[in-house]
Amino acid sequence: MSLKFGTSGLRGLSTDLNGPAAAIYATAFARYLISSGQAKPGDPILLGRDFRASSPDISAICAGALTRAGLTVLDCGTVPTPALALYGLEIGAAALMVTGSHIPADRNGIKFYRPDGEIAKIDEEAIGAEARALMGQSAPIDAVPGMAADHSQQAEALFLARNTAILPANALAGLKVGVYQHSTVARDLFVEVLTHYGADVVPLGRSDDFIPVDTEAVSPATIDLLKAWALEHKLDAIVSADGDGDRPLVSDETGLPLRGDLLGLIAAQFTGATIAVTPVTSNSGLERQHGLSIVRTRVGSPFVIAGMLDAVRNGQSGVIGFEANGGTLTATSFTINGTPLRALPTRDSFLPVLAVLSCAARSGEPLSALATGFALPVALSDRIENFPMETSAALMARLRSGMDNLSTFLAPIGTPKAISDIDGLRVTLTDGSIIHFRPSGNAPEMRCYVEAETAGQAERLLEQGLECIRTFGRQPG
């Protein structure tokens, strides 16, 4: 089984997951919950899924396995992951979300939630151990039809109530906003929420086939679509999300996507947060923002959540987290416009979208000007897909093996001045620019992140970095 836990949940090829593997991991999760005292036989467990072709079958297999393990499955259907997590917190139930998030359609995964929120790395290890113990056994994979009660309306209604109370009435009146619907489970809720606040909403690009949208490395083809729609419909913004609706995508009035870490920063300021926990891949200019302390972590929501919980345990209030993909988490409750906002310590795409659009509506500025006003270094990222994981591991071993090897690898780009090895290898060059190499945690991809003073410099640096990766990948052995 080529399945592994990555930055957020279990991931792998759909063909590997759709069968005994789904039953094994669902059973392992149920056994872990019961053995650790987080659930008892008969307790409810929520089940959601995205729109991938393989998700209904995998979800059905999980439902059968969870039922056999002694839990009561509540089917929440195709809802955003943050909606599933919120409903779990509300009723004190664990949850599984069948989704591959932003990765290609031939892959899928499962995200796991304890009754008190998203699992941590220690939980992943325990679930993995339970799964390995089950792998020698024959796991039934029939779906046990009719066993799961439909709770999709309850989960959706709770999430809708949360997001229609954040802003004042008609807070987005005067804005014309496109919603790139593609195949995200957030597509109809975005239209409903934005319409509720008075925005003129234009649904765009709805698809019956699954389209992977990576909000951290938006593809050129997606950007071309956004630019064409922005021009055709004279839009103030376009919003969207990845497959399971926990990572936001927001483009400005020209169709150019805003960086995810900028969305998180705006959400932090919007909520009045005083501490923001974010991975090392987020923009280095965050530390220069007044009134907000930045805590850096490895990439992945479990590490961000761990950092947020550390801050809460240390007595801090106003704690938020966000990733370079824009997914925003809250570790403490906030009061926004006089309305309490419950802590939701899992990635959410709706809070940052509403924060950014609210700021634009209040200021009267176009989103491009709003973004420029933060004066962050120009940051870009991209990935090389279908880059074998063993090749990524060999590349990282080479770069970490000594300054001579690193300098030789970077010779076409520049001279290294400082190095951070928190997650991947982040190198500050002598001209002050930054290049960061990091293998994906859940797919055969190699990622490259750069920062520079100007857009032209950042674009050149990114292309040079990607070419260095490609050159290494073409080497024999």
Following DSSP, what letter does each residue of 140-181 receive, concatenated? -----TT-SEE-HHHHHHHHHHHHTSSS-TTTTTT-EEEEE-
Mean pLDDT of the 252-269 span: 96
Sequence-ordered list of residues with C-beta below 8 angstroms from that of 382, at least 6 positions apart, any chain: 217, 447, 448, 462, 466
Q: How confident is the model at residue 442 (pLDDT cuts 50, 70, 90)?
A: low
Q: Which range is most confident: 8-17, 140-149, 225-234, 466-475? A: 225-234
Looking at residue 300, what is its pLDDT?
87
| % residues pLDDT > 70 (the chain) | 96
- Please identify, in words, the CATH class of the domain defined by 176-372: alpha beta
CATH 3.30.310.50 in the chain, residue ranges? 378-474
CA nearest to 259, candidates 299, 216, 320, 214: 216
**Residue 145 confidence (pLDDT) above 70:** no
Name the pairing type of β-strands 434-439 and 446-452: antiparallel
Mean pLDDT of the 414-438 span: 94
Structure-model confidence comparison of residues 153 and 139, the more confident one: 153
Q: How confident is the model at residue 316 (pLDDT cuts 50, 70, 90)?
A: very high
CATH 3.40.120.10 in the chain, residue ranges? 4-158, 176-372
**Coil, helix or strand at residue 13:** strand
Mean pLDDT taken over the chain:
93
Catalytic residues: 101
Structure-model confidence comparison of residues 404 and 141, the more confident one: 404
Looking at residue 147, what is its pLDDT?
59
Structure-model confidence comparison of residues 187 and 142, the more confident one: 187
The predicted model scores a pTM of 0.90
Pick the CATH number of 4-158 from 3.50.50.60, 3.40.50.300, 1.10.1060.10, 3.40.120.10: 3.40.120.10
**Residue 272 confidence (pLDDT) above 60:** yes
CATH code of the domain occupying 378-474: 3.30.310.50
Looking at residue 477, what is its pLDDT?
59
Mean pLDDT of the 234-252 span: 98
Question: Cα(257)–Cα(249) distance, rounded to whole angstroms?
Answer: 7
pLDDT tens digits, residue range 193-240?
999 999 999 999 999 999 999 998 899 999 999 999 999 999 999 999
CA nearest to 24, candidates 69, 56, 83, 76: 69
